[in-house]
Amino acid sequence: MTKPQISVETVQQMDKQDPLHAFRNEFHLKSDHYYMDGNSLGLLSKRAEQSLLTSLEDWKDYGIEGWTDGREPWFYMAEKLGAMTAPLLGAEAEEVINTGSITTNLHQLLATFYKPKGSRTKIIADELNFPSDIYALKSQLELHNLDPEEHLVRVKSRDGRTLAEDDIIEAMDETTALLLLPSVLYRSGQLLDVKRIVKAAHDKGIIAGFDLAHSIGALPHQLDEWQVDFAVWCTYKYLNSGPGGVGGLYVNKRHFGTSPGLAGWFSSNKQKQFDMDHHLSAADDAGAYQIGTPHILSSAPLLGSLELFHEAGIHKIRQKSLQLTRLMMDLLHQELDGFGFELATPIEDERRGGHISLVHPEAARICKALKAASITPDYRAPNVIRLAPIALYTSHEDVYEVMQILKEIIQEEKHKQYSNERGIIA
């Protein structure tokens, strides 16, 4: 049966029925501009702006007393943010802390949980992972005087875009100490079966960690139920905390008491931190895996942003996100069939994160043309256009208009005026 044609009236009706549509008003949106890069940097919400201003006011009004006496005391902010984030992860409050950056947190948890011993020395990753994770894994191996070429196992992709869970599980053996995988692949948007991977890893005595950068804030997680050992993420993508926003980490409570691999002052039990003892009395929860002083002005926006997630509900956010990406894929088929685009993202809802990826040999110049047409896309070398319609601030009509503009660019060859090379930042 042929699908009915999607029209502007169709998507306008979808917006009328959207229970999250009003959340658009919470964000600073530009009129006549379509922002499709929230999987790289989310937009500023009015709540995030206000919570940042509150911390600035605390600094102005209280000085150093802002650590304990401010309207949002800085000394407890990381723990408060952890408790607010935990429901998005299916975790308990004490298992989550917001601190550092995603890569420093990854180094911390690798230093804590990667303990090569005997023949069990290898780390499983994948050949499609974001470079920063691979850099961290290689450097941790080198700190143990182990050659990454031998001890870092990168699971190969069958199609250059996605991973097969069967291949990941097949790579596990008695030489594997730890695995680190993305929950959602940054290039294709594939969502991995985390539960299945963790069970297979634990059956073979392997520590299982995940990078949630492209899933947190876009879909619900059940880290406790899945028995994930540790996880890290950034907050400036779907969580809309702002450029360089504070990172986050999760440690399953069964590991509480494990000494932090990289100890620091904020690893301390807060009741003993100011004893100034040279012997660390580590916190008895995820707070033990902090290192340095919290980055308050990079943390404060998240307080306001997370309020919106609790009000909207992560399950409703996921439902709308799937609708938006499904709509985008349907419009791709309806409007752009025959123009050289390939969809790199799995079409199944259970295998798709919050963005779609289009492969085109002229992707770089198409992205430049989109920007000139007031659309913000994301380009990934050598040939990927990522488009992320964000549930809290993207409408169905936005998606429709973006795909119409893309069609016009290709039909009229407007992209041909640009070079097919990326800029310094892509």
Q: Is 400 annotated as a binding residue?
A: no
Q: Is 265 annotated as a binding residue?
A: yes
Distances from the Cα of 418 to the Cα of 104, 127, 357, 366, 385, angstroms: 38, 31, 21, 8, 15
Question: Which residue carries 């779907």 as its tokens?
Answer: 238
H helices of 159-313, in order, are 165-171, 194-203, 223-226, 296-312
Q: Is 293 annotated as a binding residue?
A: yes
> Phi first, then psi: what are they for 268, rounded to 5°?
-70, 155
Distances from the Cα of 65 to the Cα of 58, 275, 286, 294, 356, angstroms: 9, 18, 25, 15, 46
Q: Is 210 annotated as a binding residue?
A: no
Q: Is 28 annotated as a binding residue?
A: no
Short-list 214, 204, 156, 211, CA closest to 181: 211
Q: Is 216 annotated as a binding residue?
A: no
Q: Is 102 annotated as a binding residue?
A: yes
Laid out side by side, the sheet with 176-182 consists of: 96-98, 248-251, 230-233, 207-211, 176-182, 122-126, 152-155
* Euclidean distance between CA atoms 295 and 300, whole angstroms: 9
Annotated binding-site positions for pyridoxal 5'-phosphate: 102-103, 130-133, 211, 214, 236, 265, 293
Annotated binding-site positions: 102-103, 130-133, 211, 214, 236, 265, 293
